[in-house]
A and B are shown apart, each in its own frame.
Chain A
Amino acid sequence: MVDVRSGIGEALPPPEVEDVELYHPHSWWTRYVFSQDAKIIAIQYATTAIAIGMVALVLSWLIRLQLGFPGTFDFIDADAYYQFITMHGMIMVIYLLTALFLGGFGNYLIPLMVGARDMVFPYANMLSYWIYLLAVLVLVASFFAPGGPTGAGWTLYPPQAVLSGTPGGKDWGIILMLSSLIIFIIGFTMGGLNYVVTVLQGRARGMTLMRLPLTVWGIFTATVMALLAFPALFVACVMMLFDRLLGTSFFMPAIVEMGEQLQHGGGSPILFQHLFWFFGHPEVYIVALPAFGIVSDLISTHARKNIFGYRMMVWAIVIIGGLSFIVWAHHMYVSGMNPYFGFFFATTTLIIAVPTAIKVYNWVLTLWRGNIHLTLPMLFALGFIVTFVNGGLTGLFLGNVVVDVPLSDTMFVVAHFHMVMGVAPIMVIFGAIYHWYPKITGRMLNEALGQIHFWVTFVGAYLIFFPMHYVGLVGVPRRYYELGEMAFVQESVHSLNAFISVMALIVGAAQIVFLFNLAWSLRHGREAGGNPWRATTLEWQTPETPPPHGNWGKELPVVYRWAYDYSVPGAPEDFIPQNQPTPGLVTHETAS
């Protein structure tokens, strides 16, 4: 129970955070294009990420057309199919999810939620976006390069990634892919330094770490992890570029290509796998932790109840972040490693289930007897919990070596990771956009279109990926262009595949409704006011909506309480904003 009276009459401490001299844009170009304002950069990041994400969505349609109706479409040959799955995976994981969660939501929400005027290094922040855009352009260029994009699979395993049997292996594809990743990492590091240091140094007076909304905790921890994990991918990409362009043998063993002995020799493909998954597994949580954080805030706000077990939630985020660095080899059970290593990595993998399960319990307990408003953000948050639990449970299957070995190369794995790191984080992204769009634009998104979007996406995603588990369990291998004559593949698998493909087309089409809603509501949406969800966190307390450059007007906010004072007994309103010293002072302007 909160003592609603304390905090009155205390002398305000001197400002620990210096009010910074803001960069003042002089022209339209520096205000909206080469802007150093984190909010503009966030919108640029998000727009670019969604645009390239739509490319990946179309690629997934093409993949499903081939799998559902093999042989029907002439333009999808085996090479094209491998290029589609590679680019789909890489774009979705790195250029959409990572960029949108950290570059998009990180940039928009961190300064507003911690009560800062902007990021601490605005210039580096601007560079971060433009370098990200360059990385995306290099990636897109590979579609038009001779030989097309790489078809090595999103894991880019050598030696096949740089051999002529793989699309793009001896052409531009792999070179552009590796270059794009290197550029992306350089750009991300600039942004990442901003996110971390802003949380460390830019917090408003009274904003202790334990008063941060869980969104900020999630994004902060994920950024720290990304800063430490991306160098592994960086090193791997540079070394593979050397192998491909300069004839070194970091990863390339002695190998015969098209009957010709290559000059490579002695290199270790396993070394690449270690480096790749040293990045690749934390990457899963780099995407998941911001989602965890955001969904906690959505649930608390829209159930009008404080988050259950805030401390436990913070600890769980930090522990998951730490543990995720010592589980990478569970992606390599089938690489022929020492069984004791397998045992170690299986143990650490299964231990991660503990803090993760704590988070799920806490979300459910927050909902328990809450005043649940089935708004669009809440619907998507609920959709996230369901899909995440589902994907997490199959993760427990795959974390065990003996279960993983037979399932590793089947569609079961595809269903698992799409459920847990595809559908689940995307649900959170949608929920977050429906939640914060009113703050970003000043208008609400259309409710009816949103309902269509949610139900088609949620039910449709289930109808896509739930049957896929069964397809995998009967042994249908993944990565295959077509199944051909396989005795164990029943007729029902083929019809199931066709069904999945039709659902994929429908779910993809529902995203067009969403994009239309984003554009339409910009002008025609209902006026939102400053705090339409009656939320407590600082970003809803800005004097103007959408917040202008500098966010806070003359005075930086002072924080008096944690982020979850909903339905406090004795308070006149069912929420108390973080910058409200006493509940009696809730004014009508902030409430409506």
Chain B
Amino acid sequence: MSVAVIFLTLVAAVIVWWLAQQRLASRPWLEVGHRYDRRSGAPLPAAKIGLGVFLGVVGALFSLAISAYFMRMASSDWGSLPLPALLWVNTGILAVGSVTLHRAKVEAERRDDEATRTALLAALAGGLAFLVGQLFAWRELTAAGYLLAGNPANSFFYLLTGMHGLHIVGGLVALGRLTLRAWGGPLDRRMRLTVELCAIYWHFMLFVWLVLFALFSGWASDVVDFCRQLLT
């Protein structure tokens, strides 16, 4: 469970950092009047905070699944899974999608609606291509006889890529709705915010994928072994 505990420690650090700015040591019973509310004029949009909290939940989900991966890995029946080369291509596609959405965000801030729309469409296509690529990777593995129930390594591969894929599907639904609205008329403030949120989500899912990819390719366990040696 060490991965989950480390993740939660990070979350706890963020919470402590935030709490530290909230005057938790003040004496509210002595303070009458509204001047003690120190919130600044322009608060962050609620949707952005909401996305941040949601990414915390998604992070907890994946860190727990990865914890389970390491714990299950310790047993003797753990086999190895040859990673299809296609996964490298998929990683590239996902990264390009991330960059494209960042581009969309920048263009939206510069009020260039046309460029934003193009970038959104490109990111949408990239997301779909990634999903199709993942499905082909699954097919390649099943055709080679690496079935879901064959070995715990296979089971975890399908489970984790499946979970990640479902999150991408969710992101694509949001991105698809945004793209439709963006093509329907000029971008307003809410749409520009949504572009930014989609970009943040995409960067996060790229990060999760990179961690998973490192896990499947064995680098992550090398790192863990190295840390373990340092500790003992």
Give A contacts to B, CB under 8 Å: 2-4, 6-7, 10, 12-14, 16-17, 120-121, 189, 192-193, 196-197, 200-202, 205-211, 224, 227-228, 231-232, 234-235, 238-239, 242, 246-250, 263, 265-268, 271, 274-275, 278, 306, 310-311, 314-315, 318, 322, 325-326, 558-562, 564-565, 581
State how many angstroms separate the Cβ of B183 from the closest Cβ of chain A: 23
A189 to B72: give the CA distance in the assembly, Å: 27
State how many angstroms separate the Cβ of B68 from the closest Cβ of chain A: 6
State how many angstroms separate the Cβ of B200 from the closest Cβ of chain A: 15
Closest to A564 in B: B29
- Tell yes or no: B143 within 8 A of A by CB: no
Give 13 CB contacts A-B under 8 Å.
Answer: A120-B50, A193-B54, A200-B49, A208-B23, A208-B37, A209-B22, A227-B57, A228-B8, A231-B61, A232-B64, A246-B149, A560-B32, A560-B34
Closest to B45 in A: A201
How extensive is the interface on chain B, given as a class? 35 or more
Given contacts A193-B54, A242-B155, A250-B68, contact A224 B46 (CB under 8 A): no
Q: Is the CB of B56 within 8 A of A228?
A: yes
- Tell yes or no: B99 within 8 A of A by CB: no
Given contacts A231-B61, A266-B76, A564-B29, contact A208 B36 (CB under 8 A): yes
A322 to B12: give the CA distance in the assembly, Å: 8
Contacts of A7 in B (CB 8 A): 32-34
Q: Is the CB of B149 within 8 A of A210?
A: no
Contacts of B54 in A (CB 8 A): 189, 193
Contacts of A314 in B (CB 8 A): 24
Most buried by B among A310, A311, A564: A311
Q: Is the CB of A210 within 8 A of B43?
A: no
A326 to B152: give the CA distance in the assembly, Å: 28
Q: Is the CB of A275 within 8 A of B34?
A: no
Most buried by B among A197, A205, A246: A197
Most buried by A among B19, B24, B39, B148: B39
Given contacts A224-B15, A246-B149, contact A235 B33 (CB under 8 A): no
Contact of A234 among B40, B50, B61 (CB under 8 A): B61
State how many angstroms separate the Cβ of A538 from the closest Cβ of chain B: 14
Q: Is the CB of A248 within 8 A of B34?
A: no
A372 to B75: give the CA distance in the assembly, Å: 61
State how many angstroms separate the Cβ of B123 from the closest Cβ of chain A: 24
- Tell yes or no: B169 within 8 A of A by CB: no
- Tell yes or no: B132 within 8 A of A by CB: no
Contacts of A202 in B (CB 8 A): 46
Scan B137-169; emit 1 where CB is below 8 A from any A CB, else 0.
Answer: 000000000001100100100010001000000
Closest to B52 in A: A197
Given contacts A228-B57, A246-B148, A271-B72, contact A311 B35 (CB under 8 A): no
Q: Is the CB of B159 within 8 A of A242?
A: yes
Closest to A314 in B: B24
Contacts of B19 in A (CB 8 A): 318
A54 to B105: give the CA distance in the assembly, Å: 51
Contact of B28 among A12, A14, A205, A210 (CB under 8 A): A210
Contact of B34 among A10, A564, A565 (CB under 8 A): A10
By Cβ-Cβ distance, the 10 closest A-B pairs, closest first, are A7-B33, A266-B77, A206-B34, A562-B28, A247-B149, A231-B61, A248-B155, A120-B46, A7-B32, A231-B60
Q: Is the CB of A275 within 8 A of B49?
A: no
- Tell yes or no: B30 within 8 A of A by CB: yes
A234 to B26: give the CA distance in the assembly, Å: 39
Most buried by B among A12, A209, A228, A306: A228
Closest to A247 in B: B149
